[in-house]
Structure 1
Amino acid sequence: MAASNTSDAAEAYDNLVAQYEDIVHLDQIDNILFWDQQVMMPADGTPARSGQRSTLSSLRHELLTSDEIGTALSSLSGASLSDDQTAVVREIRRQYEREAEVPRELQRRLSQAISDSTPVWQAARRNNDFESFAPMLAEIVEIRQEQAAEIDPDAEPFDVIFAEYEPYLSVETVESMLHELRDELVPLIEEIRESDVDPAAGVFDGTYDADAQFALSEEVLDIVLVDWEKTKLDTSTHPFSFGNQFDVRMTTRFDEETPVDGLTSTLHEFGHTDYTQGLPTDAYGTPLGEPRSHGIHESQSRFWENQVGRTEAFWELIQPLLIKHFPNLDGTSSRDLYAAANQVYEENYIRVEADELTYHMHILLRFEIERDLINGDLAIEDVPARWNELMDELLGITPPTDTLGCLQDIHWSLGRIGTFQNYSVGSVFAAQLQAALESDLGDLESLIAEESFEAIHQWLTDAVHQYGQRYTTDELIEVATGEPLTASYFVSDMRSKYSDIYEL
């Protein structure tokens, strides 16, 4: 009897994994279509692309909520499984139970709205025209509210949407962390603004050709050991990295007046790429071959952007490349380059161009707006005014245009409401990872100076990448660092670093 049960469980598990692999394939196809839409597709291709992606979304929903998956999950309830198998079943069950509550037509409407809204957002951002984007945003918010009501009508709608991207950290935990960052960082930002030190004075004056910046980014990616056999680099309106262990499409963007932003953007997306390519190849098509969560993904991108890319050792390492591509920087010390790259801006409107400190006030602003939108406490037409109000409250500045304000991010046009807080989760965890890495390997600055990037890659793979979704988020943080998520390392690092740069 036991053997028969074991055999039945094994068959049910194999059927479940086979069904899920098809879902992963659909996700990957949709990623390629999105990449093409942002990078290659002709401007007038949206109507066809919207239909294509909507069909994929509908097929995905149908597969994920199919009787085959439901039957397999039922058969595996209480079955004796290995730890890896238990994790696979847990993650597929979580997705199945959420998706099964949402009507197929609602999923199709969301996919259609996302495809339709992206070019509208692009034009609205370009033309400083929130009014033209507002109807698309209203539709997406309405669909997300309907989804939340279908999944859990008794919960706050934002809490339900939040769990889609970070299912194992509570809204209360993350909100408390954001408020801790506000309480700790705002006084530090004020101290810096009162300082007489200007670390960026004259360092990056002038213009920096975008093609030269692209070439610089490619060479920097060589240094940090990007795998070009599995990576394609392009530019897009908003940088992203999508793909799998075998094929990652990565984009960045450049401003000819601020070369630091293009380089840090490239490193940020490389962090996503490194995580994706560090996932176990033999688990592709299962949750064990997929990243844990949005917050964990952001920890990897913020690690490479900040823990590596904003260090003095890194700027000393790449100084010859900077001079090669931009001879006007010849004679500028690596210390000055480093300090200028870590400038805390007086007027800092754009999140992806923000320094390490003010960045988190951008996140808190978006967290509060998204929560109020989804919970029905903020009207669409009031978004620009609320955005400007919070910018003034948190950073003491008011965007002169909506292009520099509420239209700057692509996320809302992609339906990704309830994700921004995970950038701060990622930053906090990245600092925690650095402390754990240094406990094992020694000082990170020394590792960078020695170009020991293979060792850094391997440590991150061993600590985070290799597990895919085997652990829940809180479990993975403890497995990687030996302690629960804490902002203490990040706050301490920021105080130490910026006290040095600004002579506080």
Structure 2
Amino acid sequence: MAADTDKSTMSPEDAYDVVLEKSQRILDLEKVDFLTRWDSDVMMPVGGAPARASQRSSIAAAQHRYRTDDDLGEALDLLEDADLTEDQDAIVREMRREYDVETSVPEAVNGQISTVMSRAHEDWKQAKEANDWSIFGPSMEDVVDAWIDWSEHVNPDGDPFETLWTKRSGYHAQRYIDLETVDRIFDELRAELVPLINDIRLSDADLATDAFTARGPYDINTQRQLCEDTLDVLGLDWDRARLDTAPHPFSYGTQHDVRITTRYSEETPMTALQGIVHEFGHTAYTHNLPQDHYGDPIGEPRGLGVHESQSRFFENHIARSKPFWEHFMPTVREHFPQLEDITSQEAYEAVNQVFEDNRIRVSADELTYHMHIILRTEIEQALVAHEIGIDEVPDVWADKMEEYLGVRPESDAEGPLQDPHWASQIPAFITYTIGSMLAAQLNAAMRKDLAVDELVREGNFEPIHDWLEERIQRHGQRYRTDELIERATGEPLTAKYFVDYAREKYGELYAL
């Protein structure tokens, strides 16, 4: 894999070309892996799984070789004191970061992680079906130990959990938001949301919670048409996207090609609709990354937390707002005449209800959702710090669910087996809440510049897209995450705007 350039005579220009070439190869492979993941969930026959696992392993190995290539290291060393433009400096910074991380981890350690993850995912599926944590627990312990080993190679003197949070490579990386910031945000959410959730539980407010569920069933093909119309209203570029069905909604892609998925329920069209708006936010971000930087870090999103902020903005601050339902309810009625008597206010109440029996994260409302995330993160931190053992997880989980949400899981499947994430990632959930905090912060900043409610009520989303593109999306990884957030909103990341938004919105809904 050696470059043609003679390293002994490599000029800064030659060195920068090497960096760009390696970046292109790494990111092309990452996008091919995205397509294999999409195909696995959307189109691949069941019998294709063994070959697909081998294919994805080969892609990961090839990426690692490019990330640790000696020519890349030589080029990065040469460019340390070079006179670079702002964009060139950002590209070199991001490539140097990944090179340093990847070269610090022996190949055997990466191989062990791949091995235990593959086994753990299969054990998780069996444990979920059998409703038995003991089937998955030993494999999860191997996953935790393998990632601790990885962290000790990357940063021997650091806190393993913070290393795992800040030092990952590739799409799963969350760079430049330190663990201190996460802890501060989580502390504020615990203090504010737990009593608010309890007040809501005790409220006598009578919301139209069954506005949609009482009028089913809903034809799946008609729901798909409604989702397509929703994406049209929001402004999706269909020449660079497609919509399919998957067991769990996701979207992957590039500036030129995003694959969107959703899932449907005959009981309510809101499952698919809310999912599709969420994935649209991810897609809008991806589509607005600079096309001329495809294949280098400036053409890449600024971490999963920022990516999640775009999806949460559209899902919560647009599609769960009163103005949205004032604009969109007539379209919903056109597709489903049985909703003719449902008002926009009733639709607004239905999509914003706080569920009393809230045991499952993926079905949680936007308020209680974050206690699900905090609970999981606390368990992850305790496991990595060896403060609890794997066999204690179900009991710790149940106690925290009761403390934060007033309910206890009735089974392991309703408890720590409900998510597959721990078969592969530690930490696995923080970015969901970080993204929601940033979404609220962006929403507050945007409202200083735009009449957001009026625009949404009119179905005019172009100024909203332009604002997000200018502040966040077009920059890719040009700036560190903390710098990007301050440039976009005028202040560091904070939970203040989400807390204010939650108090006002749910205080009004539940007459608190």
Is 1:177 aligned with 2:180?
A: no
Using the TM superposition, name which of 432-441 and 233-242 deviates more: 233-242
Q: Which moved more, 1:415-424 or 1:490-499?
A: 415-424
**Deviations 1:176-198 (CA, angstroms, capped at 9, x unpaired):** 10110111111111211111113
Aligned to 1:218: 228
Indicate which of 450, 456, 461 corresponds to 1:441.
450
Q: What is the match of residue 44 of structure 1?
A: 47
Which one-letter code corresponds to 1:74 in the other structure? D
Distance 1:489 1:419 in 2: 24
1:428 corresponds in structure 2 to 437
CA contact (8 A) 1:261 1:353 kept: no
Which position in structure 2 is the counterpart of 1:382?
A: 392
Q: Could you tell me how far apart the structure 2 residues matched to 1:223 and 1:405 are?
A: 38
Shift of 1:295: 0.9
The CA distance in 2 between the partners of 1:186 and 1:497, in whole Å, is: 16
TM norm structure 1? 0.94
SS of match in other structure, 1:251: strand
Q: How far does residue 27 in structure 1 lie from its aligned partner after superposition?
A: 0.7
Rate the CA distance shift 1:29–1:22 in 2: closer, same or farther, 3 A: same
Inter-partner Cα distance in structure 2 for 1:37 and 1:353: 24
Flag the 1:416–1:250 CA change in 2: closer, same or farther, 3 A.
farther
Q: Is the 8 A contact 1:252 1:265 kept in 2?
A: yes
One-letter code of the match for 1:438? Answer: R
Deviation at 1:491, TM superposition (A): 1.1
- Structure 1 Cα separation of the partners of residues 388 and 250 of structure 2: 28
Letter in 2 for 1:202: D
The alpha carbon displacement at 1:299 in A equals 0.5
CA separation in 1, counterparts of 2:150 and 2:333? 52
Contact 2:210 2:350 in 1 (8 A): no
**Residue in 1 aligned with 2:365?**
355
When residues 127 and 43 of structure 1 are mapped into structure 2, their CA distance, relative to the original with a 3 A threshold, is: farther
| 1:342 equivalent in structure 2 | 352
Q: Equivalents in 1 of 2:404, 2:299: separation in Å?
A: 39
The aligned counterpart of 1:474 is 482
8 Å contact from structure 1 (residues 50, 111) kept in 2: no
Aligned 1:260-339 pairs, distance under 5 A = 260-339=270-349
Output the CA distance in 1 between the equivalents of 2:330 and 2:130.
39
1:191 aligns with 2:194: no
Check 1:127–1:221 CA distance in 2 against 1; reply closer, same or farther (3 A cut).
farther
Aligned residue pairs: how many? 498
| Equivalence map 1:94-113=2 (5 Å) | 94-113=97-116
Question: Over aligned residue pairs, what C-alpha RMSD do you find?
Answer: 2.0
SS at match of 1:45: helix
Tell me the secondary structure at the aligned position of residue 253 of structure 2: strand
Matched, 1:242 2:252: yes
Report matched runs for 1:4-43 at 5 Å.
8-43=11-46
SS at match of 2:238: coil
Query: Are the structure 2 counterparts of residues 437 and 395 from structure 1 closer, same or farther at C-alpha, using a change threshold of 3 Å?
Result: same
Instruction: Provide the C-alpha distance between the structure 1 equivalents of 2:44 and 2:113, rounded to a whole number of angstroms.
Output: 21
Q: Deviations over 1:393-426 (max 9, x none)?
A: 110111223333222223223x232241221111
8 Å CA contact 1:57, 1:107 repeated in 2: no
Contact residue 39 and residue 234 of structure 1 kept, 8 A: yes
Unaligned segments of structure 1, at least 5 residues: none
Aligned partner of residue 243 in structure 2, secondary structure: strand
Runs of 4+ in 1 over 6 A off after TM superposition: none
Deviations 1:3-40 (A, max 9, x none): xx999212211111111110111111111111112222
| Deviation sequence 1:438-465 (CA, Å, 0-9, x none) | 21222x2211111111221111111101
- Structure 2 distance, partners of 1:216, 1:187, is 37
Secondary structure, counterpart of 1:44 in structure 2: helix
* Residue pair 1:294, 1:419 contacting (<8 A) in 2 also: no
Provide the secondary structure at the position in 1 that maps to 2:47: coil
SS at match of 1:77: helix
- CA distance in structure 2 between the aligned counterparts of 1:431 and 1:490, rounded to whole angstroms: 5
Corresponding residue for residue 68 of structure 1: 71
The reply to whether residue 134 of structure 1 matches residue 137 of structure 2 is yes
**Alignment equivalent of 1:493, drawn from 480, 491, 501:** 501
CA distance in 1, matches of 2:220, 2:456: 26
Worse-matched range after superposition: 227-236 or 133-142: 133-142
Per the alignment, do residues 417 and 215 of structure 1 end up closer, same or farther by CA in structure 2, a change over 3 Å counting? farther
